[in-house]
């Protein structure tokens, strides 16, 4: 995130956390934000994308962006706002490799009928999501797997990282791995399908391996 975008994010976040921008209220228009912060339209859009990834706003096409309720503090402090360097992003993926691979294995053993339905719906939504909804849909899938463990600590940890755990690696990818590239999107979908199939089949070892393949591939794409 650029320095200018960080300034806009900080300013808007302060208004959201103080209640000046209450849950349900609409963010000022792009034109107003450009005037208020003295930045370009590109910077404003980058800042709104960051706020959306942090779960503070949601955007409705044609209507604008609206403030969400501030999430309750989590016992885990992922501090994704402090993840800035290339090395930080790789370290976060390595952390996720250890945590989420075991979560997938546990989910395969513990999943309930409700979890099966939630993972299936998250996978379907990931397939339907366009560019705007890709990060949220990807995060929802990983959250559903964590929830299926039946262990609140896995879920709380993933929630503490939030959608930024999906967005940050994507900002480091080259054009060949863009979310607008059909071949890349198809690869990602197959990786998620392999995880879902193993979890839903109750195959813990395959679920663990599928998650490791997915996150390992993400790491190679980022580090490539």
Tally Cβ neighbours within 10 Å of residue 97: 17
- Residues facing 36 on adjacent strands: none
Domain ranges of the chain: 3-67, 80-223
pLDDT digits (tens, 9 = 90+) for 76-92: 555 555 666 788 889 98
pLDDT digits (tens, 9 = 90+) for 7-18: 898 899 889 888
- Fold for domain 3-67? Arc Repressor Mutant, subunit A (1.10.10)
**Main-chain phi, psi angles of 67, to 5 degrees:** -75, 135
Q: What is the SS3 string spanning 169-208?
A: HHCCCCHHHCCCCHHHHHHHHHHHHHHHHHHHHCCHHHHH
Residues found in the chain:
224
Q: Is the pTM value of this prediction over 0.85?
A: no
Show pLDDT as tens, one digit a residue, over the chain (224 residues). 567 888 898 899 889 888 899 999 999 999 999 999 999 998 898 888 878 877 788 888 788 899 988 766 555 555 555 666 788 889 989 999 999 999 999 999 999 999 999 999 999 999 888 766 788 889 899 999 999 999 989 988 988 888 777 877 766 544 444 455 678 788 999 999 999 999 999 999 999 999 999 999 999 888 76
Distance CA(18)–CA(48), nearest Å, equals 18
Query: CATH number of the domain at 80-223, please?
Result: 1.20.120.530
| pLDDT for the residue 79 | 53
């Amino acid at each position: 995130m650029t320095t200018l975008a960080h300034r806009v994010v900080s300013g808007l976040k302060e208004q959201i956390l103080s209640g000046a921008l209450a849950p349900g209220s609409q963010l000022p228009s792009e034109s107003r934000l450009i005037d208020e912060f003295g930045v370009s339209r590109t910077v404003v859009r980058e800042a709104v994308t960051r706020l959306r990834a942090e779960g503070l706003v949601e955007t409705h096409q044609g209507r604008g962006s609206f403030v969400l309720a501030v999430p309750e503090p989590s016992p885990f402090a992922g501090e994704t706002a402090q993840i800035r360097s290339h090395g930080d992003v790789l370290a976060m993926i390595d952390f996720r490799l250890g945590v989420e691979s075991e979560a997938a294995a546990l989910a395969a053993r513990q999943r309930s009928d409700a979890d099966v339905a939630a993972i299936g719906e998250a996978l379907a939504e990931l397939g339907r999501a366009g560019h705007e909804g890709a990060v949220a849909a990807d995060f929802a899938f990983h959250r559903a797997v964590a929830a299926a463990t039946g262990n609140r600590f896995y879920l709380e940890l993933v929630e503490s990282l939030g959608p930024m755990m999906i967005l940050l690696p994507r900002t480091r990818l080259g054009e060949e791995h863009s979310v607008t590239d059909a071949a890349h999107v198809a690869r990602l979908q197959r990786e998620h399908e392999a995880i879902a199939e193993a979890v839903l089949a109750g195959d813990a070892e395959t679920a663990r391996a599928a998650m490791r393949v997915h996150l390992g591939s993400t790491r190679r794409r980022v580090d490539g």
